[in-house]
Structure 1
Amino acid sequence: MRHPMPAGIPEPVTPAERSDPSGMDRFIAGIEWIAAAFVGLVAADIFVSVLLRYFFSVSIPDGYDVGRMLLGILIFWGIAATSYRGAHITVDLVWELAGTTMKRVIDVFATLVLLFVVTVQTIMLFDKVAQTYVQNVLTYDLQWPTWPFFAVAWLGDVSAVILIAVRTFRLVAAPERVNEAHSLEPVE
């Protein structure tokens, strides 16, 4: 038995009610899996580095450089994953007091501002990738080029722009589809 939702909050969608995911929904899920993989990779890097230092007094060559670049990659892919879902930190005081139509207007406006900011950030990050490539910046120990790490981070930012654009479109055209994959199951 479903309990009625408060006014302005859409009913949760059960798995049985969901249609087959579209290509865009699979793309969104793929971005989230990539972000999760980078979380695991950074955690493994930190764990192995600490283990080797503590027990064997050995450090991974370029462990610091690679670790900080992986952390940067994680941040940008994390931005992509949270931007579509709206799972980032928000201040909802005005939104909570607004009516349904005004909530939608606020959501669309906030998402457009986020889209602008992340697009500018993506352009600037591409400039950083290009500069790093041209300047042939290398890691300290192994002399690896650093631009591929920056490029992977940039791809995370590009993914964020795409997902924010999709979120904006869905907020305008089909707001019930924005978070349907993360809808809560009704409490019995």
Structure 2
Amino acid sequence: MKKNFADRFINGIEWLAAIFVGIVALNIFVNVLLRKFFSTSIPDSYDFGRMLLGILIFWGIAATSYRGGHITVDLVWSAVGTSRRRMIDVFATLVLLFVVTVQTAMLFDKVRLTYIDHVLTYDLNIPTWPFYAVAWIGDVCAVILIAIRTWRLVFRPEALHDEHFEQKGGE
């Protein structure tokens, strides 16, 4: 099956989120080894860990927001017919799109203020705004993916990659 640009973009976002998970795990692992065996630590490891965790959260939102595989409450959804399920899905996705768009605007303001205030890490005096910017880019990607999901829900539901799409569409 040939993948279009949107599918390649979605896969790229998921790979980036996975890479950030690996970076966070590597930071923790190396820091624990250094503390245990060498009684030292990575300079600014706390700052890096904190900011990398923020990046991971926003890229994780981007990765999970398209697939629809995150935790949901389907009590009402499972009690109604197929057409109403689709309406609920579209409504819920539009609400998610609105919330994440507002969150993205607020996070951009945080990036801007961090840049203007010239906030630095404690040990190495590295500017922190690039970390916030990478997290913001993850949030922008989440908005894009939710918009793609909304469009596909409305116009091409068969193109969705939901884990249980066959069950949703076949009932």
Q: How does 1:1-80 map to 2 (within 5 A)?
A: 19-80=1-62
What is the CA–CA distance in structure 2 between the aligned matches of 1:50 and 1:117, rounded to whole Å? 37
1:171 equivalent in structure 2: 153
Inter-CA distance 184–111: structure 2 relative to 1 (3 Å threshold): closer
Q: How does 1:14-163 map to 2 (within 5 A)?
A: 19-163=1-145
Which runs of 5 or more residues in structure 2 are unaligned? 167-171
Inter-CA distance 44–175: structure 2 relative to 1 (3 Å threshold): same
Q: Which runs of at least 4 in structure 1 moved beyond 6 Å after TM superposition?
A: none
What is the CA–CA distance in structure 2 between the aligned matches of 1:133 and 1:101, rounded to whole Å? 48
CA apart distance, 1:176? 1.2
Q: CA RMSD in A?
A: 1.4
Q: From the two aligned structures, give the one with the greater helix fraction.
A: 2
Give 3-state SS (helix, strand or coil) of 1:130's partner: helix
User: TM-score if structure 2 supplies the norm length?
Assistant: 0.94
Identity of aligned residues (%): 72
Which runs of 5 or more residues in structure 1 are unaligned? 1-18
What is the CA–CA distance in structure 1 between the aligned matches of 2:73 and 2:5, rounded to whole Å? 32
The one-letter amino acid paired with 1:60 is I
**Range that drifts further, 149-158 or 81-90:** 81-90
1:7 equivalent in structure 2: none
What is the CA–CA distance in structure 1 between the aligned matches of 2:109 and 2:70, rounded to whole Å? 26
State which structure, 1 or 2, has the greater radius of gyration over its C-alpha atoms.
1
What is the CA–CA distance in structure 2 between the aligned matches of 1:54 and 1:93, rounded to whole Å? 48
CA apart distance, 1:61? 0.2
- Matched pairs, number: 166
CA apart distance, 1:184? 9.1
What is the CA–CA distance in structure 1 between the aligned matches of 2:149 and 2:140, rounded to whole Å? 14
The one-letter amino acid paired with 2:157 is P
